[in-house]
Structure 1
Amino acid sequence: MGMAGSGDVPAAGLRERKKAETRQALRKAAARLFREQGFARTTVADIVEAAGVSPRTFFRYFASKEDLLLPDLAEFFDRLEAELAGRPRAEPPLPALREAMLAVLQDGPRSTLVALVHPLEGTEEAVTDRLVHAFMRREERFAELLADRVPPGPDADLRASVAAMAALSATRAVIRTVRQRRRTAEVPVGAVARLLPTAFAVLAEPGAQA
């Protein structure tokens, strides 16, 4: 039993490494094809041929080629949830979510941020759609995480939902602003983290409470 158990760990590790390598191969192949022939002209068949895997293997990792535009988006939001859950309980909703977001922007998956701020030509609309849908899917979860940070009362659930939606909308506004500025000047990816506190400050301005 002891020998079999000790052999299970390396085998499991090997499987996970193989999965990671396959996922990375698909990401690299897709990124290269998107650059060379455009997103619209690239098919799943093109991607699997370039990566040297079967279509069946592709769909074990990604539901569509659109998923490869923001391949680490789920990890990005998972990290954000974890950071938010770890913030001090006495911290108000918006500051807590702002600091959690800044932490993920600093140390989280960079490929997602690059794709959001510097989308490949012809992919901006698709990238934006996926981001919006991802935010919508996560709004309820973030509202739950903020629920114990709002003042108690009959409308506490509403306050938490508004805070979550406002914070995520502010983040989207920052990304859109950086993209717009890139049309006339060189803007680094780090501009998102620099502008985020300003966007959250707008939410706290007196006029925003009207």
Structure 2
Amino acid sequence: MARSDGAPPAGLRERKKAQTREALRVAAARLFAERGFAETTVAEIVEAAGVSPRTFFRYFDSKEDLLLPDLTESFDRMVQELARRPLEEPALVALREAVLAAVDSAPHTTLVALAHPLEGAEAVVTDRLVYAFVELESRLTKLLVERLPPGPDVDLRAAVVAITAMSAMRAVVRTVRERRKTEEVPVGTFARLLPTAFAVLAEASADL
């Protein structure tokens, strides 16, 4: 039911916002792949998405934000999944399961930078990935402090577990990106390699 002031209902507004954001993401991903990141302009993205430049800047600060359009949502899901894990689970196991659950819940979510090596954008992608991982490690560390047995240096122990787990995930990101430079990488490779990375991590931990 429409509001008396003529504005659409809140639920409809949110759906339209989501549709607009997705249209911009899809248009940018296609143009980046076809023309390259450096050669693609905001004007071309908005034209392809069928929106105005003003609308674009309501959702994104720059075209660089569209290089990794779903990174924040993906990392938010990991934090949420970790918060749901049983408290009695070992910290590293809980983190592994949280990461895998987050990926499984959105199997079609793809980082543009992983799907298409973008000439001229590698430095931007690398900087944004590093920053995002550091921020995620901080968020996970705070949750792990609550899960680990209390004692001296619990904050340090939590940080080591979080950073170690994210290192395994970084290794998968790097592997997929490197493989894409020389070969066709099947869809789903990222998700397939994650359990292997965590298995290697578990083996290395057991040997210490």
**Bucket of the pairwise TM-score, normalised by the shorter protein:** 0.7 to 0.9
Deviation above 4 Å: which 4+ runs of structure 1? 3-10, 206-210
* 1:188, distance to aligned residue in structure 2 (A): 2.3
Counterparts of 2:205 and 2:165, CA distance in 1: 16
Q: Is the 8 A contact 2:33 2:116 kept in 1?
A: no
Counterparts of 2:40 and 2:47, CA distance in 1: 11
State the SS of the aligned residue for 1:110: coil
Q: Is the 8 A contact 2:87 2:147 kept in 1?
A: yes
State the SS of the aligned residue for 2:69: coil
Normalising by the residue count of structure 2, what TM-score does the alignment of the two structures yield? 0.85
Aligned residues: 207
Of 5, 15, 18, which aligns to 2:16? 18
Q: Percent identity?
A: 66
Sort the Cα spacing of 1:105 and 1:12 in 2 relative to 1 into closer, same or farther, 3 A: same
Of 59, 62, 67, which aligns to 2:57? 59
Aligned ranges for residues 65-144 of structure 1 at < 5 Å? 65-108=63-106, 110-113=108-111, 115-122=112-119, 123-144=121-142
Normalising by the residue count of structure 1, what TM-score does the alignment of the two structures yield? 0.84
Of 176, 194, 199, which aligns to 2:197? 199
Of 5, 8, 31, which aligns to 2:29? 31
Q: Is the 8 A contact 2:67 2:125 kept in 1?
A: yes
Q: In the alignment, residue 59 of structure 2 is paired with which amino acid?
A: Y
Q: Is the 8 A contact 2:117 2:181 kept in 1?
A: no
Over aligned residues, Cα RMSD in angstroms? 2.8
Counterparts of 1:157 and 1:140, CA distance in 2: 11
Counterparts of 1:206 and 1:138, CA distance in 2: 23
* 1:60, distance to aligned residue in structure 2 (A): 1.1
Deviation by residue 1:58-104 (Cα, 9 ceiling, x = unmatched)? 11111211111221111111111111111110111111111111111
Higher alpha-carbon deviation: 55-64 or 156-165: 55-64
Show structure 2 runs of 5+ residues with no match: none
Match of 2:46 in 1: 48
